Structure 1
Amino acid sequence: MDAADERRFREFVSARSPALMRLAFLLTGGDQYTAEDLVQTALAKAVVKWQRIDDPEAYVKQIMYRQQISWWRLAWRQRETTTASLPEGATADDTSGAELRLVLRHALARLTPRQRAVLVLRYAEDLPEETVARLLGCSVGTIRSTAHRALARLRVTAPELADFRLSASEVTS
């Protein structure tokens, strides 16, 4: 790697690391350390082929998607994430955004890795079904049915999301 490519890589990493960390955080179900590992692994794989990459962000994101799927398939990578509970009696002030993120994080953690990946790619990354199917190596029908089942499962296992939406609409009206 020559000096110009190294400078280009360093600029990419400094500019895009926060966005890549947010994506990794969602893909890993909120596990900060695994998200950091995911970004680091993707960047390490990308630097090897840096001179031949046309669209660095798309390339790194695809590495992240595929690496996360590989980790899901390995049983020893499955870990339980422990978090503190919110204090009782919390009021609806400026913490509603943070509360929504916490509720969403816990709700996503209740899904299977494939369901979580489909929802993150479809709704957080706003990718079309065809792109999600290509990235995850399955058919568009599988993406649709997985998204449908994941949303149905969220409605059953995380009713607090519906409660949050109701209270948010009451605040805005």
Structure 2
Amino acid sequence: MADRQAFDAYVRERWDPLLRTAALLTGDPASAEDLVQETLVRAARHWHRVDPGAVDAYVRRVMYTRSIDAWRWRRRQPDPVDPVRHERPGADGTDEVAARVTLVDALSRLTSRQRAVLVARFYEDRTEVETARVLGCSVSTVKSQTRHALSRLRELAPELAPTFGREEAPR
């Protein structure tokens, strides 16, 4: 019963931050909710074994893994005939909105692992070592995935390049 209460309290406290991270990983609000729910279902099954000091790291690791698994599954599916793309705002939209739409589109075209590394490094402001621990990979993998992801973002959205330098990622 104590495990159930601890889990319920964790969900109430961390739902919004988990949802924001999931939205960055999936690029879609509905998929983000699904990802958080799937993550929490998996975490609930093993809640009694989770170290109380590492609960958030455990849940985020499950989320990153589920995100990558979903990406791999979608990749094996046939391409849709008419994919829905984000429309760019017209002349009445602000530059910030246009930049965000461009960034979301570019992020959606990265691999799941690259997106996970960028979210952990720059959105969650984790170090390379922390990112490697959370994602279950080496620090050199984090460094190379970050380098490849930022390079790809510069290719996909060159108009955003002035907003982030060689060492910084978009926020």
Larger Rg: 1
The alignment's TM-score, normalised by the length of structure 2, stands at 0.77
Q: Which runs of 5+ in 1 are unaligned?
A: 167-173
SS in 1 for 2:17: helix
Which letter maps to 1:85?
E
The answer for the alignment partner of 2:36 in structure 1 is 39
RMSD between superposed Cα atoms in Å: 2.6
| Corresponding position of 2:113 | 114
Report deviation, 1:90: 2.5
2: distance between equivalents of 1:77 and 1:19? 30
What is the aligned partner in structure 2 of residue 16 from structure 1?
14
- Cα gap change, 1:114 to 1:5, in 2 (>3 Å): closer
- Structure 2, unaligned stretches of length 5 or more? 165-171
Deviations 1:2-57 (A, max 9, x none): 1x4333322221221110001111111x1222211211111111212223321322
Q: CA deviation at 1:132?
A: 2.3
Cα separation, partners in 2 of 1:17 and 1:79, compared to 1, 3 Å:
farther
Report % sequence identity. 43
1:51 matched to 2:48: yes
> In the superposition, relative to structure 1, how do residues 77 and 42 fare at CA in structure 2: closer, same or farther (>3 Å)?
farther
> Which position in structure 2 is the counterpart of 1:170?
none
Q: Quote how far apart the aligned CAs of 1:91 are.
A: 4.9
Corresponding residue pairs, total? 159
